[in-house]
Structure 1
Amino acid sequence: MSLQVVRAWTVKYPISRGMVTYACLWPMANVTEQYLTGKKEIDLKQVLRFGVLGTFFFAPSLYIWVRISSRLIPGGASLRVGIKKALLEQITYSPYAVTAFLAGMGLLEGQSWSHIKCEWDQKFLPTWKTGACIWPIIQTVNFAFMKERNRVPFTAAFSFLWTVFLSFIKSQKVEIDENKLVEKK
């Protein structure tokens, strides 16, 4: 397959550019986290879960978010527009994304809703706060200076580092309150 064919395909189906990028970056970020935290063997099932969630959920949702934000806050690439979109993202997309990550990974791991809720209670706020410190800067640059067709791949590059962090957060044990944990029988 030639580079021209791939380019034509990504122009015809622009969502595919982000999906291909995330199909590579999310599993690689998980492998990186496992390596950095000293795992003796790479958990390939976990790598696959990151690939599935990144490719089929986060790349499309980010693509849609970029399109929606362009309609909500119209205007060309400028610093003012970039700041507005970055702030809007922190208020709307970021809480959704952290929740979707924790819930999506939990579901892919076969966890119960009660366990997912316990994990969310412990991990959502610290994760969202960390993101709120870095993503507004990245997204201001993204929305202010990047062409719309390059915004998802640009974000994906920083998403690699963020996903290493998310993988670390996900790997942290959850303290389960047995009184709140209701398993289906």
Structure 2
Amino acid sequence: MSAVFSRTRVYFNKYPLLRGVATYAVIWPVSNLCQQAISGKEKFDFLQALRYSLFGAFYVAPTLHGWLKLSGLMWPQMNLKTALTKAILEQFSYGPFAMVSFFFGMSLLEGKSSSEAANEVTAKFWPTMQVGVFVWPVVQTVNFTIVPERNRIVFVGFCSMVWTCFLAYMKQLETNKLGKPQ
């Protein structure tokens, strides 16, 4: 058993994207199940959790990995000024892209049409973005200042567990509860 953990650690160190994929394949469905429990669902929707796992592993992890690699190349320093620059730039570039992708992609995975997915993005993007503006710059400033590059995807993954609970909450909200037309 120890040999398996040893090999896994070697692969995860050699291929950080693989580590991110594995992390998000677990964190996203766990976050969704936590949100389901918090909302008082009597029976877990494991198909919904599977959709979160697939989206987290095969979409979020690779796009986040790409962003982190790009920002690391553009600003390789690890100091407060660089961290703030990266965090603010991420909030207004990757953040909106990620939120639109989440609402649109998850809607498509649920079997909704592209126009229904677009309506959901329209209704839920701004309320979600308003919360994200306060959360992610702080998280990413810590990430870019303190956390070594090879551990950044995993660090963000664990921080995103709480964020993904919030996203799952926003996803399950009916658009009419947000005061927007459907």
TM bin, normalised by shorter chain, reads: over 0.9
Matches for 1:162-177 after TM superposition, within 5 Å:
162-175=163-176
Tell me the amino acid that sits aligned with residue 17 of structure 1. Answer: R
d(CA) in 2 for partners of 1:63, 1:150: 11
Map Cα deviations across residues 146-184 of structure 1 (whole Å, 9 max, x no partner).
110000000011100000000000000124xxxx98xxx
d(CA) in 2 for partners of 1:70, 1:10: 19
- Three-state SS of the structure 2 residue aligned to 1:38 is coil
- Three-state SS of the structure 2 residue aligned to 1:42 is coil
Tell me the equivalent position of 2:44.
Answer: 42
Runs of 4+ in 1 over 3 A off after TM superposition: none
Tell me the equivalent position of 1:63.
Answer: 65
Tell me the equivalent position of 2:85.
Answer: 84
d(CA) in 1 for partners of 2:76, 2:155: 20
Map Cα deviations across residues 97-120 of structure 1 (whole Å, 9 max, x no partner).
000100110110011111111111
Tell me the amino acid that sits aligned with residue 9 of structure 1. Answer: Y
CA apart distance, 1:12: 2.3
d(CA) in 1 for partners of 2:50, 2:11: 25
Structure 2: runs of 5+ lacking an equivalent: none
d(CA) in 1 for partners of 2:143, 2:127: 24
Tell me the equivalent position of 1:22.
Answer: 24
Report sequence identity in percent.
40
Tell me the equivalent position of 1:144.
Answer: 145
Q: Could you tell me the TM-score, scaled by structure 2's length?
A: 0.93
Tell me the amino acid that sits aligned with residue 74 of structure 1. Answer: P
Tell me the amino acid that sits aligned with residue 22 of structure 2. Answer: V
Tell me the amino acid that sits aligned with residue 44 of structure 2. Answer: I
Q: Could you tell me the TM-score, scaled by structure 1's length?
A: 0.92
Map Cα deviations across residues 4-49 of structure 1 (whole Å, 9 max, x no partner).
1011111222101111111111000000000000001101110000
d(CA) in 1 for partners of 2:52, 2:94: 19
> How many positions carry a matched residue from both structures?
177
What is the Cα-based RMSD across aligned positions, in Å?
Answer: 1.5
Tell me the amino acid that sits aligned with residue 26 of structure 1. Answer: W
Tell me the amino acid that sits aligned with residue 166 of structure 1. Answer: L
- Three-state SS of the structure 2 residue aligned to 1:39 is coil
Tell me the amino acid that sits aligned with residue 96 of structure 1. Answer: F
CA apart distance, 1:70: 1.3
